[in-house]
Amino acid sequence: MTSARSPWRRLLDGWLAVAGHFGEVQTLVLLGVVYALVIGPMAILTQLARRDFLAKRGLRAAGSAWLAADTTPPDLERNKHPF
């Protein structure tokens, strides 16, 4: 035995389907705007300033990415000042 759905419930289900599609489009538009206004210009400025935040340029000449470990024994005063 199936119960008939009310017209209000069908209207709500239809509205939720339409709103879901609007949400997908809105997400794509917002991500595109963020990329175009924030990430893209930052990448261009980084390239123009020749900044290397990951220190990748010197890896080929160095032959290795290995960094020597800090072997200083830990103490309380050293840990209070991270740099």
Reduced DSSP (H G I as helix, E B as strand, rest coil) percent helix, strand, coil of the chain, to 5: 65, 0, 35
Which tokens hold the place of 22? 């609007």
* pLDDT tens digits along 22-49: 999 999 999 999 999 999 999 999 889 9
CA–CA dist 51, 83 (Å, integer): 22
Range of the structural domain that residue 22 is part of: 7-80
C-alpha–C-alpha distance, residues 76 and 74, integer Å: 7
65 is a domain residue: yes
What's the number of domains the chain is made of?
Answer: 1
Residue 2 lies in a domain: no
Tokens representing residue 17 in the block: 């389907």
Tokens of 16: 């939720």
Is residue 1 predicted with pLDDT exceeding 80? no
Query: What is the pTM (predicted TM-score) of this model?
Result: 0.51
Residue 36 falls within a domain, yes or no? yes
Whether 1 maps to a domain, the answer reads no
Find where tokens 């809105």 sit.
26
